[in-house]
Amino acid sequence: MMQDTGMARHTLRRFLGLIPTLLMLITVAFFLMRVAPGGPFDSEMVLPPEIEANLNAKYHLDEPLLRQYFRYLGQVAVLDFGPSIQYKDWTVNELIAQGLPVSMRVGLTAIVVAFVLGTLLGITAALKQNTGMDYSLMGAAMLGMSIPNFVIAPVLILLLAVYAGWLPAGGWDSGIASMVLPVITLSLPVTAYVARLTRGSMIEVLHSNFIRTARAKGLPEMVVITRHALRPALLPVISFMGPATAGMISGSVVIERIFSIPGLGSYFVQGALNRDYTLVMGVVIFYGVLIILLNFMVDLIYAWLDPKIRYDENH
């Protein structure tokens, strides 16, 4: 009963803390978009003043800035991001709904691959500490962390698509083949981070007193690792996976552009180039909410894995 009450209080406290964070995100994004030079109707072709005035009136851009801000807050409160300024006859909600499934499919697949593979590599390196395998795995992980995505992607395209001809070099047809290269490119750096986090945490846990006690009782090594060491060793990894998952689901801008994937990242880039206020704001807010909610879930999982966290907060 005490555990359930402590968990409920912890959940409520964390949830209430999301509201001011989200409000701050919307406020900063809104005013940064407005103070940046240029406007959504700036182009090489100068519009007649009366047409530009009509367009500004249509999108309420002729109103005082504070009135625009509070109008936008009211729209966001009912989950309405407004019409896109540059994509005619499209709302921002519709554009997000169109790009989100693609980004989610690629991102979630990549994060699952990174978590499973990174955890296995990290545990293996920890169990083989200071051996050739440990040095090899961590060296490869360091290399994976050092090379940016925009370098990995062309190399994979050259090797696996151009020379070998095994996979398509780009495009999106919802098939597995078109996902392989983007997933590998997205998952490699995260796999490296997860492997290093898991190794360091697992080594620390394996030198703990309760692990020595479990081994002294004669428990098999596999039981010691899976039942006693794995859960606390994954705490740093769980903390890292929140923002990493949000970043992958929202889509890497560079990766989506390289592989011609019609996800959220592509819409964000196009909206920024076109000064599409509503589209850029909608994607930024959606991405921010995703990060906030995933971090909230990470906090809950962290508190479930380590009950001392929620009890310490009550004192």
Confidence check: pLDDT of 215 > 60: yes
Closest CA to 291 of 99, 91, 59, 107: 107
For residue 218, what is the DSSP state?
T
Span 90-101, pLDDT tens digits: 888 888 888 888
Q: Beta partners for 91?
A: 83
* CA atoms of 136 and 224, how far apart (whole Å): 25
- Structural domains of the chain, ranges and CATH numbers in brackets: 92-313 (1.10.3720.10)
Q: What is residue 299's predicted lDDT score, i.e. its pLDDT?
A: 72
Q: Which residues of 7-20 are buried (b: 16+ CB within 10 A; e: fewer)?
A: beebeeebeeeeee
pLDDT tops 90 at residue 117: yes
Please give the pLDDT value at position 1: 46
> Which pLDDT score, from 0 to 100, does residue 7 have?
60
Q: How much of the chain exceeds pLDDT 90, in percent?
A: 6
Structure-block tokens of residue 78:
């009912």
Q: Is 91 helix (H, G, I), strand (E, B) or coil?
A: strand
Mean pLDDT of 176-198: 89
What average pLDDT does the chain have? 79
* pTM listed for this prediction: 0.74
Is the pLDDT at 139 greater than 70? The verdict is yes
> What is the mean pLDDT of the segment spanning 134-152?
85
Count of CB atoms within 10 A of residue 61's CB?
A: 18
Say which residues have a Cβ less than 8 Å from residue 10's Cβ, sequence separation at least 6. 299, 300, 303, 309, 310, 313
Lowest mean pLDDT among 60-69, 180-189, 202-211, 276-285: 60-69
